[in-house]
């Protein structure tokens, strides 16, 4: 039962990955609030970012086209790498939880509650470790550069092999 439940949690977590690849935080010159969203496209004119509200199921996303000259700070995170790290953490935590549960001493009348909580705790620790290891944001240096150079800096982060 525990193995099936933890396997179901792992399957649900893996289905929610890989929707948008790059998440971005943009600070504009005329605003103190950062725009957080997913990169849709970018060109020599600017950056197209789609944002999702907190009530994401009820309010549609909003597309923002931001000119390069209006951007003062730009940070990017590769969501695919981040979500893969979390899935690896879930897998490691799941295996560790199974090993711990198999070696957990049984007490009469305990119904294995300690095994369940220990296994779930190991999965939680694995997810947290995968999240912390892969959640770094990359700050793109854009100060003192024109629009074409800013686009090339972002392109170097998103397409490193080209």
pLDDT in tens, 138-155: 888 888 888 888 888 887
- At 17 the pLDDT is 52
How far is it, in rounded angstroms, from Cα 29 to Cα 72? 6
- At 20 the pLDDT is 55
Of 1-5, 8-12, 15-19, the poorest mean pLDDT is in 15-19
- Contacts of 10-18 with C-beta under 8 Å, sequence gap 24+, read 10/87, 10/90, 10/91, 10/94, 13/86, 13/87, 13/90, 14/87, 16/83, 17/80, 17/83, 17/84, 17/87, 18/80, 18/83
- At 58 the pLDDT is 63
pLDDT in tens, 85-142: 888 888 888 888 888 777 777 776 666 677 778 778 888 888 888 888 887 888 888 8
Q: Going by CATH, does the domain composed of 2-152 fall within 2.30.30.100?
A: yes
Helix pair 2-15, 79-103: axis angle to 10 deg: 180
Confidence of residue 15 (pLDDT cuts 50, 70, 90): low
Residue that wins the pLDDT comparison between 5 and 27: 27
The tokens describing 114, both together, are 């300690």
Q: H/E/C letters for each residue in 88-143?
A: HHHHHHHHHHHHHHHHCCCCCCCCCHHHHHHHHHHHHHHHHHHHHHHCCCEECCCC
pLDDT in tens, 30-85: 777 788 888 888 888 888 888 775 555 566 667 778 888 888 888 888 777 777 78
Nearest to 133 by CA among 86, 64, 78: 86
- At 57 the pLDDT is 58
Nearest to 42 by CA among 161, 159, 162: 159
Please answer whether residues 119 and 2 qualify as being in contact, where contact means their C-beta atoms are separated by less than 8 angstroms. Answer: yes
What residue spans define the domains of the chain?
Answer: 2-152
- At 14 the pLDDT is 59
Nearest to 59 by CA among 49, 68, 51, 69: 51
């Amino acid at each position: 039962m525990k193995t099936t439940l933890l396997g179901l949690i792992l399957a649900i977590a893996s289905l929610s990955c890989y929707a948008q690849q790059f998440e971005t935080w943009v600070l504009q010159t005329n605003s103190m609030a950062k725009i957080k969203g997913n990169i849709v496209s970018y060109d020599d004119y600017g950056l197209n970012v789609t944002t999702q509200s907190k009530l994401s199921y009820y309010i549609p996303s909003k597309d923002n086209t931001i000119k390069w000259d209006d951007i003062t700070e730009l940070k990017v995170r590769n969501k695919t790498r981040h979500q893969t790290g979390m899935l690896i953490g879930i897998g490691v935590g799941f295996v560790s939880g199974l090993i711990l549960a198999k070696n957990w001493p049984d007490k009469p009348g305990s119904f294995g509650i300690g095994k369940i909580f220990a296994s779930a705790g190991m999965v939680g620790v694995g997810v947290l470790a995968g999240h912390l290891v892969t959640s770094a944001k990359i700050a793109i240096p854009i100060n003192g550069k024109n629009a074409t150079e800013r686009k090339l800096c972002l392109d170097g982060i998103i397409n490193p092999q080209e």
